[in-house]
Structure 1
């Protein structure tokens, strides 16, 4: 099991969570927003420095930015797992592109006011 912390106010982040859920039928990933009490507690427990987009907590460690995204992709069904080959690209190069998206996500994709309620089986994967 792994936990994905995401920006609960970001349309792109919400779409990313929905993307993960559809490609994770075994339910390996659980989710919590960075803004939630659980999210804040996990950030503190794992001593995550500055997190404003995506954080993966897996095997007692946290991963940020492109590393988190690639480690998530590695566990998804379909060809998405092959994206993990990009882990060989230097972190600075990967995170440069990731940072461009993260810094502009509200401008490009908008900010959420309300969250959709997922189905009961999906709701169980969200930590509260």
Structure 2
């Protein structure tokens, strides 16, 4: 059975949806599933981790072994898993996490402004990768 990683994101954010679509397009191995933080799976995850249920300013990556990554660590891990030249993002690990996360937080704070307002819906095939 193929190991899958779950990417949790703000389902009401156009910027976040853009990047989810980008991951789907580049996931040649078919290892990612997706769930919005507002959905049942996302809300259960937040509850289990004692995280705020209404603040969706970060993404989370859940590994098959249950390990959870957030913010810049999640982005770097996603890039590494996608392979190809994206895995070079691991070089950013030399930057201390608190600095990487400050940049992540700045982008997250302005993500709605960064969204193009153009949020394509997933195809029928892509919807199979989404958890409720």
TM bucket, shorter chain = 0.7 to 0.9
Give ranges in structure 1 of 5+ residues lacking alignment: none
Q: CA RMSD in A?
A: 2.0
Q: Does 1:74 align with 2:74?
A: no
Tell me how many residue pairs correspond in the alignment. 125
Instruction: Write the distance in 2 (CA, Å) between the matches of 1:48 and 1:6.
Output: 17
Q: Within 5 Å, which residues of 2 pair with 1:1-128?
A: 1-45=4-48, 47=49, 49-50=51-52, 51-58=56-63, 59-109=65-115, 116=121, 118-128=122-132
Report the CA distance between 1:89 and its aligned residue: 1.4
Inter-partner Cα distance in structure 2 for 1:42 and 1:111:
28
What secondary structure sits across from 1:27 in the alignment? coil
Matches of 1:43 and 1:72, distance apart in 2: 20
TM-score (norm 1): 0.87
State the secondary structure of the residue aligned to 1:75: helix
TM-score scaled to structure 2, two decimals?
0.84
Q: Deviations over 1:11-69 (max 9, x none)?
A: 11001001101110221110000111111112223x16355221111121211110111
